[in-house]
Amino acid sequence: MSNRVYDVIIVGAGPAGSSAANELASLGHSVAVFEDKSAPGLSVCCTGIISTECFHSLGLSTDVILTSARSAKFFSPSGRCLRLQTEDVQAYVVDRPLFDEAMASKARSQGAQYFFSSPVTDIIPGKDRIQAETLRGGTREVFNARAVILANGCRPRLPRRLGLGKINSFFVGAQTEVEVKGIDEVEVHFGHEIAPGSFAWLVPISADKAYVGLLAASCARLHLRRFLNSLFRRGRTTGEEVEIKQRAIPLGTLARTYGDRLLVIGDAAGQVKPTTGGGIYFGHLGAKIAAGVLDEALNSGNLTAGQLARYQKQWKAKMGKELSRGYLARWAYARLSDRQIERIFNILDSSGAAEALLRSGDFSFDWHSGTILAGLRRSSAYPWLRMRHLLFREAGL
């Protein structure tokens, strides 16, 4: 057992963990980050699209950016295309392995210590400290801290063991990288044949390469394989044999994201946009809030659950409504038929409603509920009404 007592031990060196490590280390706290993998960003499964707002708030070098996006094409189930473009760049596609490495380097430069190939097998809360049990190089080692942050992604075992509950609803994101012909804009494809209840994407990352992926409640790999086959048949991709990676994405939040000497952030807490599955920005916001609350608690010496409950209050105030409305929007969307989705496309396209929405103050790359509600308010057409009816019935929006 190491005699050293860190101020904070963080489990997981993903974007959320490194973001919290950077914040806390820069506030002068001693921080140790334990990561299962042998390096940051290894075998990640992520498209890496983040808003410009998110990118600038992270303070990273532009080296991590693969491409930028100011336009996208949306395809209806029948293949009708709606192209939307803004004057300014809306989002960047970051190279996730490089991005995770850069986030970890930034935290390290503030003094955070990283331990790789070090899975945390247990967290043992105590009266005046909390312990993290790790398996470093196959050897059991115990590290002490005043507080622990779980930033271990979509792996429910540790939060459940610590009595924080578990996230009950998930969907699966599957993705691969393929060689493409003539794809220079982000594409989003809708329809039950392609991605039941969700959507598929093509995101160019260079002149001849793109990420192709989709979200699905189940069988994501199978749906993606079919989508890839159809792209190949239409001559849009040049190769068929590709490695598909997949990963669970939380839909819904952890009931309790704090305990005595304990906080949970990022995917582990369910800080993910339910509309798109994007979790980098909300995980970063969660990490910042956690660091602020923990800084106060460490300085005052009060690390009780009562004190740390502020974290949950603050992050729910910042993004709770967004998450619950996004969840309902996804739930309602999954119940629309292809014909109804097609009708929505017709309305958005023919009335210029999509363009108007894009140019109004209601559009945001990260905060979708405002855009969705503005869309619902602007239209009285049937598919909208059906969605609005479902939302109102479920949540009294």
Could you tell me which residues come within 8 angstroms of residue 101 by beta carbon, excluding any fewer than 6 positions away?
39, 40, 41
Cβ(366)–Cβ(53) under 8 Å?
yes
Among 7, 24, 31, 35, binds ligand FAD (CB under 6 A): 35
Cβ(271)–Cβ(324) under 8 Å?
no
Stretch that binds ligand FAD, among 261-269, 311-319, 370-378, 386-394 (CB under 6 A): 261-269
The three-state secondary structure class of 392 is helix
Helical packing angle, 305-334 and 280-300, nearest 10°: 170
Among 159, 191, 266, 274, binds ligand FAD (CB under 6 A): 266
How far apart CA 279 and CA 208 sit, in angstroms, is 27
Quote the least distance from Cβ 71 to ligand FAD, whole Å.
17
Cβ(311)–Cβ(263) under 8 Å?
yes
CA angle centred on 147, ends 141 and 152, rounded to 5° = 70
Stretch that binds ligand FAD, among 1-9, 23-31, 152-160, 295-303 (CB under 6 A): 152-160
With tokens 């304990």, the residue in question is 262
Q: How far is CA 91 from CA 52, 55, 67, 122, 176, in A?
A: 5, 8, 9, 38, 20
What residues from 283 to 342 belong to the interface with ligand FAD (CB under 6 A)? 283
Among 151, 264, 347, 357, binds ligand FAD (CB under 6 A): 151
- The HSE-up count of residue 313 (CA atoms within 13 Å, CB side) is 8
- Closest by CA to 303, choosing from 347, 245, 262, 351, is 262
Among 66, 102, 210, 249, binds ligand FAD (CB under 6 A): 249
Q: Is 17 in the site for ligand FAD (CB under 6 A)?
A: yes
Quote the least distance from Cβ 268 to ligand FAD, whole Å.
6
How far apart CA 23 and CA 304 sit, in angstroms, is 21
Quote the least distance from Cβ 272 to ligand FAD, whole Å.
5
Question: 82 is written with which tokens?
Answer: 């709606």
Specify the residue, 200 or 336, whose C-beta has the smaller distance to ligand FAD. Answer: 200
Specify the residue, 66 or 328, whose C-beta has the smaller distance to ligand FAD. Answer: 66
- Written as one string, the DSSP assignment of 69-114 is ESEEEEE-TT--EEEEE-SS--EEEE-HHHHHHHHHHHHHHTT-EE
Q: Is 254 in the site for ligand FAD (CB under 6 A)?
A: no
Among 8, 9, 10, 13, binds ligand FAD (CB under 6 A): 13
- Residues making up the chain, counted from first to last: 397
Bridge partners of residue 122, in order along the sequence: 133
**H runs (alpha helix) in 301-367:** 305-334, 338-350, 353-359
Among 67, 152, 198, 371, binds ligand FAD (CB under 6 A): 152
Stretch that binds ligand FAD, among 29-37, 72-80, 224-232, 316-324 (CB under 6 A): 29-37
Using CB under 6 A as the binding criterion, the count of chain residues that bind ligand FAD stands at 38
Stretch that binds ligand FAD, among 34-42, 62-70, 192-200, 325-333 (CB under 6 A): 34-42
Q: Is 36 in the site for ligand FAD (CB under 6 A)?
A: yes
Specify the residue, 34 or 363, whose C-beta has the smaller distance to ligand FAD. Answer: 34
Among 173, 191, 204, 375, binds ligand FAD (CB under 6 A): 173
Among 14, 204, 375, 383, binds ligand FAD (CB under 6 A): 14
Question: 357 is written with which tokens?
Answer: 């929405």
| One-letter-per-residue 3-state SS of 276-289 | CCCCHHHHHHHHHH
109 residue type, one letter: S
Stretch that binds ligand FAD, among 6-14, 58-66, 161-169, 299-307 (CB under 6 A): 6-14
Specify the residue, 315 or 384, whose C-beta has the smaller distance to ligand FAD. Answer: 315
Binding mask 37-76 for ligand FAD (x = CB under 6 A): x-------xxxxxx--------------------------
What residues from 75 to 134 belong to the interface with ligand FAD (CB under 6 A)? 119-120
The residues binding ligand FAD (CB under 6 A) are 11-17, 34-37, 45-50, 119-120, 151-153, 155, 173, 175, 213, 247, 249, 266-268, 272, 277-281, 283
